[in-house]
Amino acid sequence: MRIVDSIKHSMLLLKELWHNPKTVGAVWPSSDRLAKKMAAQISPKHPGFVIEIGAGTGAITKALLARGILPTHLIVIEQSANLVDHLHEMFPEVVIIKGDAAHLRQILPAAVNQINAIVSSLPLRSLPNEQVSVILNELHALLPPESKLIQFTYDLFSKEERYMEGFRLIKSFSVWLNIPSAKVQVFVKNVKSIQ
């Protein structure tokens, strides 16, 4: 990412953090390295849509497109109106939806009949438990058993995965060259439904 773009994205995120602190999960945009590592977990050859939730300034969106995910098969969900406007400018060919991940099934287009993967930048460890449960129920209902949920967290050392109820961790690795350092976690849906 060019320095000018990096500064612009950082300022946009800081402005959003100032005005809507509860909806922003990071104080700095995801690095290209983190974005590429997350995108690398998805096969562009696998059929279906990739759903990105909590896209922020679009670092991971950009990496998903570079990975080979077709713009027609990428749907981006972002709660902030300012960030949605920014994402529309950056990715005019991608469907960008302003909405809350707690209502995914309501806001996704009817044409989304098969999902390849869900990529999440939501700060699930810092959200209220009830909100996390609702979001996980939405993700669990949408994701086929063989498809992946890719999530990152800044909690590098915790081995506690109970917050991802209904999903099984299949892969985890750290990305040290991110501000702050992050851990990428890849989950699949448990066969048993969550309550």
How many structural domains comprise the chain?
1
Whether 121 is covered by a domain: the verdict is yes
- Residues 11-32 have pLDDT tens digits of 554 555 545 655 555 555 668 8
Whether 27 is covered by a domain: the verdict is yes
Whether 83 is covered by a domain: the verdict is yes
SS3 99: coil
Whether 194 is covered by a domain: the verdict is no
- The parent domain of residue 154 ranges over 3-189
State mean pLDDT over 48-74: 96
Whether 46 is covered by a domain: the verdict is yes
pLDDT recorded at residue 146: 79
Domain CATH code at residue 177: 3.40.50.150
CA 17 – CA 68 distance, rounded (Å): 31
Whether 179 is covered by a domain: the verdict is yes
pLDDT recorded at residue 66: 97
CA 57 – CA 10 distance, rounded (Å): 8
pLDDT of residue 101 exceeding 80: yes
Whether 178 is covered by a domain: the verdict is yes
Q: Are 186 and 172 in contact (CB under 8 A)?
A: yes
